[in-house]
Amino acid sequence: MLLVIDRKETTVRYTTGALRLERPDEPAKTIPIQMLEQVVVYGNPLVESAVWRALADAGVPAMLVDVRGKQQHAFISSGLATTLPLRRMQHRCADEAGKQLSVAAYCVQQKLRSYTLPLQRLQTLYGISASRTQAFQQQVAQTLLKLPNASSINSLSGLEGQVAAAWFALLAETLPQWGFTGRNRQPPRDPVNALLSLGYTLMLGEVRHAVLHAGFDPALGFLHQDYPGRESLPLDVLESFRAIVDAFVLSLLHSAHLDKDSFYYRDTEGCRLSKAARPVFYATWANLRQHCPRPFADDAGSDWPHATLSEIINGQVMRLREQLKSVDNQENTA
């Protein structure tokens, strides 16, 4: 169950094994923690500190969203798992340039392969021309061939950035009615960017939880370099799942559940999803969490094209672990 708290007059308390939501002039609601999979909090409701401890103990990730986009979103979850050998291997691979480059190339490869999913949505929902689709697919294929020859993290980032720019140019051609001309972040200028930013943030929370649960050091990435105050490894893994968010946004905009009145615009805040429209977004997101398309056509078990989002993310995190083992063993035996 996805719990969204977006009314500032809400008070959230912890009772034995459950959360109690209290609002003026409404009966209190009690939700067992064992039913919760993720908690999203907007604005500044009153939440007892015992709530955060209980959610962390139960392994339920929580995300604090700043409504106006002036502050960074915050993530709350349990601490690192006690898997010291895994973290040592992660640090070995990150500390040696050749190993780091191999793992970073793997992260880019996974992202490029995942474009198949949103590209299918463009074809089936928006009728994009076959020639335009083929041109993008050819660019992806050519870039995949170049990855093994990349000599640095910067060159890998450049290759990935070229494909990302082509992808967002393709979206701009497809979604002009939404005022989308390209990807921007702070603040988002149009409804498409507003939905992408929110979706990427929610996905990052899911990915971060899986990375921590697996026992990785979240601060140490491969494609994303060390930066004060940033957890780089979840950003590495997130690259594989941006395509799911892109496909989600394409489907949501095509569904007619949202229109231009579902968003508001302020000079300082940019474009934001309105409070009235948030239930539509989160109901659709909750459905995605339970019935998520696999981002890769050749995933193990792909006879089942859908799974829960957590299953897909956990599977990708485990594949990253196996990739680290492979890189570490190859380098150690060379």
State yes or no: 173 annotated in a binding site: no
State yes or no: 160 annotated in a binding site: yes
Rounded (to 5) percent helix, strand, coil in the chain: 55, 15, 30
Describe the crossing of helices 191-214 and 242-254 by its angle, rounded to 10 degrees.
Answer: 140
Radius of gyration of the chain (CA): 21
- What are the Cα distances from residue 19, in Å, to 12, 35, 151? 7, 10, 52
State yes or no: 239 annotated in a binding site: yes
- Quote the distance between the C-alpha of residue 286 and its chain's center: 14
Dihedral pair phi/psi, residue 265, rounded to 5°: -135, 130
Count CA within 13 A, CB hemisphere, residue 203. Answer: 26
Residue 278 and residue 269: Cα distance in Å, rounded?
17
Residues 6+ apart with CB under 8 A from 7: 23, 43, 45
Residues 6+ apart with CB under 8 A from 82: 215
Describe the crossing of helices 84-95 and 309-333 by its angle, rounded to 10 degrees.
Answer: 60
Residue 83 and residue 321: Cα distance in Å, rounded?
12
Residue numbers belonging to the annotated binding site: 160, 224, 239
Residue numbers belonging to the annotated binding site for Mn(2+): 160, 224, 239
